[in-house]
Amino acid sequence: NPLMTYETNVIGTANILQAAFESSTIKAIVNITTDKCYENREIDIAYKENDPMGGFDPYSSSKGCAELVTSAYRESFFKQKNIGIASARAGNVIGGGDWAEDRLIPDILRAFKLNKPVIIRNPKATRPWQHVLEPIFSYLKIGLLLSKNPEKYSLALNIGPSTDDILTVEELVQKAIKVWGKGSYTVQDTVQHHEAKLLQLDISL
């Protein structure tokens, strides 16, 4: 649903930031976007915060747009009110309570429970996997730092594991099988939608 995606991620972001600008009580804003906001060239580099925004698909593209909207509001409005605004770009999260369809960990566990092979689409695709509590901690810390020093911390920040901890989809499935004690997987021959194959973040900042 591309139109709703753009309306939510681009116009929705602008609406939230405009409401925040008109508020008399807002002290700091953390806009959580995604690592998919980058123009992914499918090359073996970790993207830095100043790399170009982009996106092959509407979701990625709209998140890049949300980053540009955030930057524009930061420079045009929030600086003059001394309100800190940062964007946080996190990678794929895993953790309890996530039972959504077409998400790797829930799909693995459903397959294990039914004694069926896990179906994976892109076994060699890499993702900066992290437990959900790690980015949540980062979001809260960024908000705290913004409220204390908005000028210093009003920027975009990548959030994720070190590049040494990045795994392919296949490696993650193999680790899950080892932990579970049994299981198998098959590779789906036909991919229905475009997916990034190589995606990693530089978290040095």
Residue length, the chain? 205
Please say whether the beta carbons of 30 and 69 come within 8 A: no
> What percent of the chain clears pLDDT 90, i.e. is strictly above it?
73
> Distance from first CA to last CA of the chain, Å, rounded?
34
pLDDT at 166 over 90: no
Output the pTM of the full model: 0.84
What is the residue-averaged pLDDT of the chain? 91
pLDDT at 142 over 70: yes
Q: What is the pLDDT of residue 128?
A: 77
Dihedral sign of CA atoms 74, 78, 80, 84 in order: negative
More confident site: 52 or 165: 52
Query: What pLDDT digit, counting tens, does each position of 77-134 carry?
Result: 999 999 999 999 998 888 888 888 888 999 999 999 999 999 998 898 887 788 999 9
The closest alpha carbon to 167, from 119, 118, 123, belongs to 123
Q: Which two tokens stand for residue 131?
A: 């437990």
Q: What is the pLDDT of residue 33?
A: 95
Q: What is the pLDDT of residue 192?
A: 58
> What percent of the chain clears pLDDT 70, i.e. is strictly above it?
96
How far apart CA 134 and CA 182 sit, in angstroms, is 28
Provide the pLDDT confidence category of residue 190 given band limits of 50, 70 and 90: low
Query: Which residues are CB-contacts of 174 (< 8 A; sequence separation ≥ 6)?
Result: none
